[in-house]
């Protein structure tokens, strides 16, 4: 994002927060607190928590830059008072007290330190709320998961929705970033299991399975999609401590396989070169995309290959793009995605390339006709 409109000291602190926070924080909106100036000095932060986001308003006063900002929490967290202990005295968190007491608007790291400490306090606050729920099953589940690091909890309740407890359980002790050569990711890529339990304050002899959803950091989709993972069944009487080991074992195997498929895609793209020439552009980390410039007689065009993480089980999608013909908006004419052509995942890479090339030799004739017709219609208008 751009930081235009903020005073330099807020801009520096916000820039540092967004670029160095351990989780991908975003600014949803920004506005001015002054009636007489358009200087931006307050904003809403979207902070990842428990596989969701919490919204906090950060309120600076541009006219008094030496004063630390106020932080306004969401309406559902009216019981969260990190600056006060239960007796209403000063902050029970020494780190937050120090963060505010030693505030220095010229130090770009101060906002990050404050938000990190507040998020840590919020995690403790939610853990305390969940621990106070009068539900025997939840109490048992919490006891069985205490040894796992990094679990986040969230208690949600409202007038129009039933009480439920949400867990975010980090899975696998694997450094996925280190497994990818030339890794472009700034943040560690992680897979987590979201587990949602309805709160049952009465004894239930056969509690139903919790709602389970596998989630990952968004950038991981370049390598591995959790949407393709079939979750193991939740058996009657099962608890999380029994369920997680089998799931983690399955995921570790599938992630390792996804890493090995990078090389498989690379070798396929290499096998295209003798037929199509050297690619003019290729995704050289995951090998999910490649572009070739080809000519059929006087007709030249680009061929784009899109390879999914399921390659070679799933054949590449192809698109042809003209280098000579343009639509009425001045954009190059493109074919629809082509996926219906001869393919077998059991073929050698050279045979895959040859059969794809043969298909495109014929398809180029159709594409040239398509371009000519599009150009003719455009000229008539």
Q: What is the mean pLDDT of each run of 10 residues along the chain (381 residues)?
A: 81 94 91 88 95 94 92 89 59 62 90 94 92 85 84 82 88 92 89 90 70 93 93 88 93 96 97 95 96 88 96 96 83 92 96 96 90 75 59
Would you say residue 145 lies in a domain? Answer: yes
Reported pTM: 0.80
Q: Are residues 240 and 320 in the same domain?
A: no
Would you say residue 97 lies in a domain? Answer: no
Q: Which domain holds residue 22?
A: 1-79+102-130
State which H helix or E strand residue 295 sits in: strand 289-296
From 268, 302, 321, the end of a domain falls on 268
Q: Are residues 9 and 45 in the same domain?
A: yes
Q: Are residues 189 and 302 in the same domain?
A: no
d(CA 335, CA 98): 61
From 248, 268, 288, the end of a domain falls on 268
d(CA 198, CA 183): 40
Q: Are residues 191 and 213 in the same domain?
A: yes
Q: Are residues 161 and 248 in the same domain?
A: yes
- Number of structural domains found in the chain: 3
For residue 338, the 8-state DSSP code is: B
Would you say residue 113 lies in a domain? Answer: yes
C-beta contacts of 242-248 below 8 A and 24+ residues apart: 244/148, 244/169, 244/171, 244/193, 247/171, 247/193, 248/171, 248/172
Q: Are residues 207 and 175 in the same domain?
A: yes
HSE (CB half, 13 Å, CA atoms) of 274?
A: 9
- Greatest alpha-carbon pair distance for the chain in Å reads 85
State which H helix or E strand residue 358 sits in: helix 349-380
Residues 6+ apart with CB under 8 A from 200: 135, 137, 207
Would you say residue 312 lies in a domain? Answer: yes
CATH value at residue 365? 3.10.110
Would you say residue 92 lies in a domain? Answer: no
CA angle 97, 17, 191 (to 5 degrees): 105
Q: Are residues 55 and 122 in the same domain?
A: yes
Other C-beta atoms closer than 10 Å to the C-beta of 228 total 12
Would you say residue 281 lies in a domain? Answer: yes
C-beta contacts of 191-194 below 8 A and 24+ residues apart: 191/215, 191/216, 191/220, 191/226, 191/251, 191/255, 192/51, 192/168, 192/216, 193/167, 193/168, 193/169, 193/244, 193/247, 194/50, 194/51, 194/166, 194/167, 194/168, 194/169
Q: What pLDDT, on the 0 to 100 scale, is given for residue 203? A: 61
Q: Are residues 340 and 238 in the same domain?
A: no
**Residue 375 burial (C-beta neighbours within 10 Å; 0-12, 13-18, 19+):** middle
Q: Are residues 126 and 173 in the same domain?
A: no
Q: Are residues 303 and 317 in the same domain?
A: yes
Would you say residue 95 lies in a domain? Answer: no
Q: Are residues 142 and 260 in the same domain?
A: yes
Q: Which residue has the tokens 């193991």?
A: 232
Would you say residue 226 lies in a domain? Answer: yes
Measured between its terminal Cα atoms, the distance across the chain in Å is 41
State which H helix or E strand residue 303 sits in: strand 299-306
From 204, 234, 268, the end of a domain falls on 268
Q: Which residue has the tokens 């048992």?
A: 140
Q: Are residues 161 and 106 in the same domain?
A: no
């Amino acid at each position: 994002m751009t930081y235009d409109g903020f005073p330099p000291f807020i801009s520096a602190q916000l820039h540092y927060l967004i670029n160095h926070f351990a989780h991908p924080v975003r600014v949803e909106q920004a506005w001015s607190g002054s009636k007489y100036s358009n200087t931006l000095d307050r904003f809403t932060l979207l902070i990842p928590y428990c596989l969701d986001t919490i919204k906090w308003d950060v309120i600076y006063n541009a006219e008094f830059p030496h004063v630390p900002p106020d932080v306004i929490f969401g309406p559902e967290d009216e019981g969260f008072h990190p600056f006060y202990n239960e007796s209403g005295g000063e902050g029970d968190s020494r780190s937050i007290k120090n963060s505010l007491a030693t505030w220095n608007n010229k130090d770009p790291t101060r906002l990050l330190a404050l938000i990190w400490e507040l998020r840590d306090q919020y995690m403790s606050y939610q853990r305390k709320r969940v621990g106070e729920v009068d539900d025997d099953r939840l109490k048992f589940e919490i006891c069985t998961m205490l040894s796992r690091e990094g679990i986040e909890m969230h208690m949600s309740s409202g007038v129009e929705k039933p009480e439920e407890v949400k867990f975010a359980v980090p899975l696998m002790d694997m450094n996925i970033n280190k497994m990818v050569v030339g890794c472009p990711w700034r943040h560690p890529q992680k897979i987590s299991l979201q587990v949602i339990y309805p709160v049952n304050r009465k004894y239930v002899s056969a509690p139903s399975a919790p709602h389970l959803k596998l989630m990952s950091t968004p950038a991981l989709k370049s390598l591995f999609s959790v949407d393709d993972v079939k979750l193991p069944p939740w058996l009657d009487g099962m608890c999380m401590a029994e369920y997680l080991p089998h799931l983690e074992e399955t995921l570790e195997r599938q992630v390792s396989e996804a890493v090995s498929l990078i090389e498989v895609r690379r070798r396929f793209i290499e096998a295209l070169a003798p037929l199509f020439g050297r690619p003019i552009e290729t995704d050289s980390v995951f090998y999910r995309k490649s572009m070739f410039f080809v000519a059929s007689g006087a007709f030249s065009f680009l061929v784009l290959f899109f390879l999914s993480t399921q390659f070679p089980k799933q054949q590449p999608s192809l698109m042809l793009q003209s280098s000579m013909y343009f639509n009425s908006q001045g954009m190059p004419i493109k074919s629809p995605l082509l996926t219906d052509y001869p393919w077998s995942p059991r073929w050698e890479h050279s045979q895959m390339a040859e059969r794809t090339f043969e298909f495109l030799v014929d398809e180029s004739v159709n594409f040239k006709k398509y371009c000519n017709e599009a150009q003719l219609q455009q000229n008539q208008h």
